[in-house]
């Protein structure tokens, strides 16, 4: 009987051995639909192409919110007229707005933008890290028009989690800058 109990207990102990399965490292893969762009038609002194997946709402004085409902993100645009030699102050404010995020940002690479054919010049700031905003930009003709934009998500900043959406939306912002046209009144 002791021998039988020994084999039963030994069998139970031996059979409960779990094999270790090593899981390969993996990353979350988010794929977004291929963007389709359409020129906006609003009563402001500028126009550009926006992604058709985004919803645009016009606020006061040509301030626009371009909302991406599926990503819970918004690009906030603010238009100002260049007057009384205030271009330097407008540039300073736009740069300061981008660099206000340097406390949480890992880096803020600048990418100058120039389209002499359409008289559009500006700067694109990629804000990398757990900052409140992931991108800022401004465009101007240096004489009459000045437009700034900022990208914000409706969530607590976690750059690793929102990175795929950030990359997608930065391309949309680039498209806005590249297709910017000033309307002469």
Write the pLDDT tens digit of every residue in 150-170. 999 998 878 888 888 899 999
**pLDDT band at residue 72 using 50, 70 and 90 as cut-offs:** very high
**pLDDT band at residue 79 using 50, 70 and 90 as cut-offs:** very high
Angle at 138 between CA 135 and CA 141, to 5 degrees: 160
Q: What average pLDDT does range 37-56 have in this prediction?
A: 93
Q: What average pLDDT does range 100-105 have in this prediction?
A: 84
- What rounded mean pLDDT belongs to the chain? 87
pLDDT of residue 25: 67
pLDDT of residue 114: 95
Residue 66 to residue 74: CA distance in whole angstroms:
5
pLDDT of residue 38: 95
**Rounded to a whole number, what is the distance in angstroms from the first to the last CA of the chain?**
104
Residue 27 to residue 33: CA distance in whole angstroms:
19
- Which of 10-19, 80-89, 130-139, 156-165 has the weakest average pLDDT? 10-19
- All structural domains of the chain, each given as residue ranges with its CATH number in brackets, are 50-182 (3.40.1000)
Pick from 84, 89, 85, 65: which is nearest to 75 by CA? 65
């Amino acid at each position: 009987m002791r021998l039988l109990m020994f084999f039963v207990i030994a069998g139970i102990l031996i059979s409960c051995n779990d094999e270790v399965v090593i899981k390969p490292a993996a990353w979350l893969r988010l794929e977004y639909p291929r963007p389709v762009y359409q020129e906006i038609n609003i009563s402001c002194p500028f126009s550009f192409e926006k992604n058709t997946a985004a919803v645009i709402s016009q606020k006061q004085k040509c301030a626009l919110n371009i909302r991406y409902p599926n990503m819970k993100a918004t690009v906030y645009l603010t238009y100002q007229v260049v007057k009384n030699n205030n271009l330097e102050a407008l540039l300073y404010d736009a740069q300061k707005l981008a660099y206000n995020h340097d406390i949480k940002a890992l880096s803020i690479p600048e990418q100058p933008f120039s389209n002499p054919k359409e008289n559009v010049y500006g700067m694109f700031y990629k804000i990398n890290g757990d900052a409140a905003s992931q991108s800022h930009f401004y465009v101007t003709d240096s004489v009459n028009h000045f437009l700034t934009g900022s990208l914000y998500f409706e969530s607590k900043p976690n750059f690793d989690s929102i990175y795929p959406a950030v990359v997608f939306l930065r391309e949309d912002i680039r498209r806005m800058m590249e297709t910017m046209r000033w309307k002469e009144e």
